[in-house]
């Protein structure tokens, strides 16, 4: 079991209400301290996380692992800066981290939203320390990575108009989307990137991989921006059955979804922000 778990949001879309020397961008990055293991989970949209890490007195060169939740630009933007700063950390992600991907914009134009050429090259030049996973992966007995998450619930989808090609053909199911869990004495802490698999699919899968463990904390982007009312209702119902002590919604969750969850869930919902720190399972 992990006894001392502390998570800090290095990058989120929302400003820090107290610290105006932290910068914000559309993206997500968490710094996770789990006893003596340090994990960087995603890297935001640019190398801005390096600045925020400095302000927050976090040393990226001390990370043991870089885990990339999926290959979107807003999670892989700081890869080069992090890999160059930390020459020893292991990188864990799915092979689809490298693929090209696009999203259809409201005006019907197509926007490239995959990893940048520079960050892709940085990964390629460090192949010796990359582990590509397509099944659950255990860092140790207490920290696991889902790998691809089965899409079981019909009401959940990737949450956007995502395609593999600029012509708008071949839907991108973002199968590389992964989450991690950390086992504390009280139960599991679950951390997601964009959660394109759906939070219910994600939690259900982790529940299968780690049965009989209560879920005590959930943090991440939940990509509920375009969620149907049916999806929101079912999501709230499932989350109510979990009753986490902590629930922090970041990044792409969406204000409408957060309002809905605040009004429907019977536990505390919090809006995450850049620089937010929380202790879990203590």
Helices 255-264, 229-242: inter-axial angle, 10-degree rounding: 50
User: Which residue of 7, 56, 149, 194 would you call a contact of Fe ion, by CB under 5 A?
Assistant: 194
**56/178 with CB nearer Fe ion:** 178
Q: What's the min distance (Å) between Cβ of 73 and Fe ion?
A: 8
Q: What's the min distance (Å) between Cβ of 127 and Fe ion?
A: 24
**71/244 with CB nearer Fe ion:** 71
Q: How far is residue 87's CA from residue 90's CA, in Å, rounded to a whole number?
A: 9
Tokens of 271: 């809006």
**72/94 with CB nearer Fe ion:** 72
- What proportions of the chain, in percent to the nearest 5, are helix, strand and coil? 25, 25, 50
Tokens of 188: 């599991």
Q: Which of residues 233-252 bind Fe ion (CB under 5 A)?
A: 252
Q: How far is residue 186's CA from residue 168's CA, in Å, rounded to a whole number?
A: 46
| 74 touches Fe ion (CB under 5 A) | yes
192 phi, psi to nearest 5 deg? -120, 160
Which residues lie across from 65 on neighbouring strands?
39, 90
| 9 touches Fe ion (CB under 5 A) | no
Strands 215-221, 188-192: pairing kind: parallel
Q: What's the min distance (Å) between Cβ of 119 and Fe ion?
A: 15
**5/219 with CB nearer Fe ion:** 219
Binding string, 135-174, against Fe ion, x = CB under 5 A?
----------------------------------------
| 72 touches Fe ion (CB under 5 A) | yes
Burial 189-219 (b: 16+ CB within 10 A, else e): bbbbbbbbbbbbbbbbbbbeebeeeebbbbb
Q: What's the min distance (Å) between Cβ of 140 and Fe ion?
A: 27
DSSP state of 139: E
**183/196 with CB nearer Fe ion:** 196
Q: What's the min distance (Å) between Cβ of 148 and Fe ion?
A: 15
| 45 touches Fe ion (CB under 5 A) | no
Q: Which residue is nearest to Fe ion (CB)?
A: 194
Footprint of Fe ion (CB under 5 A): 72, 74, 194, 252
């Amino acid at each position: 079991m992990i006894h001392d778990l502390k998570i800090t949001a290095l990058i989120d879309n929302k400003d820090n209400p107290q610290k105006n020397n932290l910068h914000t961008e559309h993206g997500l990055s968490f710094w996770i301290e789990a006893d003596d293991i340090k994990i960087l989970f995603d890297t935001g949209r640019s190398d801005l996380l390096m600045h925020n890490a400095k302000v927050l007195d976090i040393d990226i060169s001390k990370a043991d692992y870089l885990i990339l939740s999926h290959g979107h630009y807003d999670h892989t933007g700081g890869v080069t800066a992090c890999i160059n700063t930390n020459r020893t950390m292991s990188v864990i992600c799915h092979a689809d981290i490298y693929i090209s991907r696009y999203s259809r914009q409201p005006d019907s134009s197509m926007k490239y939203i995959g990893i940048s050429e520079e960050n892709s090259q940085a990964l390629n030049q460090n192949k010796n320390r990359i582990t590509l996973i397509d099944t659950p992966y255990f860092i140790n007995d207490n920290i696991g990575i889902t790998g691809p998450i089965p899409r079981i619930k019909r009401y959940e989808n990737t949450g956007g108009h995502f395609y593999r090609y600029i012509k708008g053909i071949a839907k991108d199911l973002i199968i590389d989307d992964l989450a991690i869990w950390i086992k504390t004495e009280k139960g599991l802490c679950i951390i997601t990137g964009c959660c394109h698999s759906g939070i219910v699919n994600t939690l259900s899968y982790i529940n299968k991989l780690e049965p009989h463990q209560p879920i005590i904390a959930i943090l991440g982007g939940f990509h509920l921006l375009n969620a149907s009312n049916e999806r929101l209702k079912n999501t709230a119902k499932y989350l109510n059955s979990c009753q986490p002590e902590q629930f922090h919604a970041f990044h792409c969750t969406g204000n409408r979804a957060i309002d809905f969850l605040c009004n429907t869930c019977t536990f505390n919902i919090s809006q995450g922000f850049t620089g937010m720190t929380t202790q879990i399972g203590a």
